[in-house]
Amino acid sequence: MPKLTINGTEIEVAPGTSILQAAESLGYEIPRFCYHDRLSVPGNCRMCLVEVEGAPKPVASCAMAAGEGMIVHTDTDRVRRARQNVMEFLLINHPLDCPICDQGGECDLQDQAVAYGYDRSRYRESKRAVPNKNIGPLIKTIMTRCIQCTRCVRFGEEIAGVTELGLLHRGEDVEIGTFVEKAVSTELSGNMIDICPVGALTSAPYAYKARPWELRKTQSIDISDAAGSNIRIDSRGNEVLRILPRLHEGINEEWISDKARFCYDGVSRGRLDTPWLRDEPGAKLRPVSWEEALTFVAGRLRKIRAKDMAALAGDLADLESVVALKDLMTQLGTPHLDCRMDGARFDPSSRANYLFNTTIAGLERADCILLVGTNPRWESTMINARIRKAWRQKKGALPVGLIGEEADLTYPVEHIGETAAALKEIIGGKHPFAKKMKAAQNPVLIVGSAVFAREDHGAIAHLLGELARKYDIIRDGWNGMNMLHGAAGRTGALDVGFVPQAPDARGMAEIIEGTRSGAVKALYLLGTDEFNARADIGWQCFVVYQGHHGDHAAMRADVILPGAAWTEQDGTYVNVEGRPQFARQAVSPPGEAKENWKIIRALAERLNIRLPYDTSAHISARIAADWPHLAKWDVLPDHTEIGAWDLKGEKGDLSGGVLASPVRNYYMTNPLCRASEIMARCHAAFPKGRDADSGSEDKTEQEAAE
Partner 1 sequence: MKKIFEPDAAYQPDTFAFKDPKKVKDILGRYPQTHQGRRSAVMPLLDLAQRQTAKEGLKADPPHGGWIPRAAMDEIARMLDLPPVKVYEVATFYSMFQLAPVGVHLIQVCTTTPCWLRGSDRILETCREKAGIDLDETRPDGKFTLVEVECLGACVNAPIVQINDDYYEDLTPELMEDILDALEKDKKPKTAKTAKIPGKTPESSPRRKPGSS
For position 151 contacting ligand SF4 by CB under 6 A, the verdict is yes
DSSP state of 124: -
Do residues 480 and 442 lie in contact, with contact meaning Cβ atoms separated by under 8 Å? Answer: yes
51-80: which residues touch ligand FES (CB under 6 A)? 60, 62-63
For residues 398 and 520, which CB has a smaller minimum distance to partner 1 in the complex?
Answer: 398
| Contact with ligand FES (CB under 6 A) among 6, 23, 34, 339 | 34
Q: Which does 48 bind (CB under 5 to 8 A by kind): ligand FES, ligand SF4, partner 1, none?
A: ligand FES
Instruction: Report if residue 28 touches ligand FES, rule: CB under 6 A.
Output: no
| Positions in the binding site for partner 1 (CB under 8 A) | 163-171, 173, 178-180, 696-697, 699-704, 706
| 166 versus 538: smaller Cβ distance to partner 1 | 166
3-state secondary structure string, 426-444?
A: HHHCCCHHHHHHHHCCCEE
Distance, C-alpha 219 to centroid of its chain: 15
Told to check if 107 binds ligand SF4 by CB under 6 A, we report: no
Angle CA(596)–CA(601)–CA(604) in degrees, nearest 5? 130
139/360 with CB nearer ligand SF4: 139
Contact 26, 5 (CB under 8 A): no
Tell me if 87 contacts ligand FES by CB under 6 A.
Answer: no
What residues contact residue 127 under an 8 Å CB cut-off, 6+ apart?
92, 93, 95
- Pick between residue 84 and residue 268 the one whose CB is nearest to ligand FES: 84
CA trace torsion 220, 223, 227, 228 (10° rounding): 20
Nearest to 276 by CA among 597, 527, 556, 531: 556
| Among partner 1, ligand SF4, ligand FES, none, partner that 45 touches (CB below 5 to 8 angstroms by kind) | ligand FES
**In angstroms, what is the minimal distance from the CB of 37 to ligand FES?**
11
- Supply the minimum distance, in Å, between the C-beta of residue 147 and ligand SF4: 5
How many other C-beta atoms can be found within 10 angstroms of the C-beta atom of residue 93?
19
Q: Which is nearer to ligand FES, 62 or 402 (CB)?
A: 62
Contact pattern for ligand SF4 over residues 184 through 223, marking x by CB under 6 A: ------------xxx-xx----------------------
Q: Is 32 among the residues that bind ligand FES (CB under 6 A)?
A: yes
- Measured CA to CA in angstroms, residue 64 lies from 4, 18, 47, 79, 264 at distances of 13, 5, 13, 16, 42
366 contacts ligand SF4 (rule: CB under 6 A): no
Judged by CB under 6 A, does residue 91 bind ligand SF4? Answer: no
Told to check if 162 binds ligand SF4 by CB under 6 A, we report no
Interface with ligand SF4 in residues 108-147 (CB under 6 A): 146-147
| Rounded Cα gap, residues 92 and 121, in angstroms | 8
Cα–Cα distances (Å) from 190 to 38, 142, 193, 412, 693, in that order, read 16, 15, 5, 24, 20
Residue 227: phi and psi, rounded to 5, are: -75, -25
In contact, 50 and 61? CB cutoff 8 Å: yes
To the nearest whole angstrom, how small is the minimum distance from the Cβ of residue 198 to ligand SF4?
5
Shortest approach of ligand FES to residue 29 CB, angstroms?
12
**Residue 184 interacts with, from ligand SF4, partner 1, ligand FES, none (CB under 5-8 Å by kind):** none
Residue among 6, 21, 23, 35 that touches ligand FES (CB under 6 A): 35
Q: How far is the CB of 253 from partner 1 (least distance, A)?
A: 24
* 3-state secondary structure at position 73: strand
* Total residues in contact with ligand FES, by rule CB under 6 A: 13
Radius of gyration of the chain (CA): 28
The nearer residue to ligand SF4, 152 or 251, going by C-beta atoms, is 152
- Alpha-carbon span 237 to 594, nearest angstrom: 18
Which of ligand SF4, partner 1, ligand FES, none interacts with 47 (beta carbon under 5 to 8 A by kind)?
ligand FES
DSSP state of 667: G
Site residues for ligand SF4, window 164-183 (CB under 6 A)?
176
Residues of the shown chain interacting with ligand FES in the complex, contacts defined by CB under 6 A: 32-35, 43-48, 60, 62-63
